[in-house]
Amino acid sequence: MAAAGDGPWLDDAAGRLVRPFTVSNGRTRPTVALDLLSQVMATGATPLGYLGPEHAQALDLCRVPKPVAEIAAHLKLPAVVTKVLLSDLVDCGALTTKPPAFQDHPTDRALLEAVLDGLRRQL
109: enclosing H helix or E strand: helix 109-122
In the chain, what are the domain boundaries?
A: 22-103
Q: What CATH architecture applies to the domain 22-103? A: Orthogonal Bundle (1.10)
pLDDT of residue 109: 81
pLDDT tier, 50 (very low <50, low <70, confident <90, very high otherwise):
confident
| pLDDT of 107 over the 80 cut | no
Residue 89 CB neighbour total at 10 angstroms: 24
Is the pLDDT higher at 5 or at 88? 88
Q: Which amino acid is at 32?
A: V
- CA 103 – CA 31 distance, rounded (Å): 27
pLDDT-derived band of residue 95, with 50, 70 and 90 as boundaries?
Answer: very high
Contact 6, 53 (CB under 8 A): no
Note the pLDDT of residue 116. 87
To the nearest whole number, what is the mean pLDDT of the chain?
A: 79
